[in-house]
Amino acid sequence: MTADSVDPAEAALLAGLRAGDDKAFEQLVHVHGGRMLSAARRLLRVEQDAQDAVQDALLSVSRSIGRFEGGSRLNTWLHRIVVNAALMKLRTRRRKDEVLIDDLLPRFMEDGHALEPALPWSESAEALAQRGETAQLVRDSIDTLPETYRVVLMLRDIEELDTAEVAAVLGITPNAVKIRLHRARQALRTLLDPHFRERHP
Amino acid sequence: MTCRELIEFLADYLQHELAPGELAEFDRHLAGCRACANYLHTYRDAVALGRAVLRPDEDEIPPEVPAALVEAVLAARRQRPN
């Protein structure tokens, strides 16, 4: 382990975990479990599923701590593990009735012009974010996305995994990640548009 | 370049991944098309709003781990140590 960038408390925790120490594991749960739970809640939105995913992730950490290389931040590594556990959980869940992504994408005429030309929004994103109802509206809109698209949007834009990482965890090609992300963002825009569009007198 | 093609290339444009020839065509269309300019801005704003609402704040204090979860994790690990 390199000593230059590792925080001493983290190094001690890691040493304890590698030795299979119960106290170190308990400390891991208390110190890092909360942040892992936040990520699981964002992806799964059902409290029990989120807690199950965190449990799976922590047990997986306990088994695979030997594979953690001191090079990356412990936080980053734990985040990847809980994201994976949450994705496993998502796969076992029954899909709700979903809207079709095509219904949320812009439509075009034969000649390639937009069927409904886009209008500007009434305020900047910063100003819209300050409105009381925006947070719930954005959450609900993201929840409305078909699951395969919602997951890619969450992993890329919110959890900030890069394209290659998302491709690896989902078992799809980087190009498929890019296509799904673009469609997911377009669909989110479509869902938000009627609420934020500039109204003409 | 048509509006349909511009919107197809939008993500690559924002990632600065368009080839120079494509970029020139993209910019030319954008300069003359109000609807596509509006689309580009609102697409960007939709992404920004998703981030503003959902992305965790670095300084945010993480939630407490529920006691029942702590118990469950510790019990599960005792059952199958390492």
Q: Quick one: pLDDT band at residue A4, thresholds 50, 70, 90?
A: low
Q: Which of A170, A167, A88, A178 is nearest to B17 (CA)?
A: A178
Q: Does residue A40 carry a pLDDT above 90?
A: yes
Q: What's the DSSP call for residue A171?
A: T
Residue A92 and residue A101 in contact, taking contact as beta carbons nearer than 8 Å: no
Q: What token pair was written down for B72?
A: 């469950």
Mean pLDDT, chain A, integer? 92
**pTM of this structure:** 0.90
Alpha-carbon distance of A16 to A14, in angstroms, equals: 5
pLDDT the model gives residue A93: 84
First to last CA, chain B: 59
Is a pLDDT exceeding 50 seen at residue A1? Answer: no
| Cβ neighbours of residue A29 closer than 8 Å, sequence gap 6 or more | A58, B65, B70, B73, B74
pLDDT of residue A96 exceeding 90: no
Query: Inter-chain contact A37–B69, Cβ cutoff 8 Å?
Result: yes
- For residues A169 and A71, which has the higher predicted lDDT (pLDDT)? A169
In this prediction, residue B31 carries a pLDDT of 97
Count Cβ–Cβ pairs < 8 Å, chain A vs chain B.
146
Contact B55/A at CB under 8 A: yes
> B16 at the A interface (CB within 8 A)?
no
Spell out, as residue ranges, where chain B has pLDDT lower than 50.
Answer: none
Per the model's pLDDT, the better-predicted residue between A128 and A3 turns out to be: A128
ipTM for the complex shown = 0.91
Q: Is A20 close to B5, i.e. CB distance below 8 A?
A: no
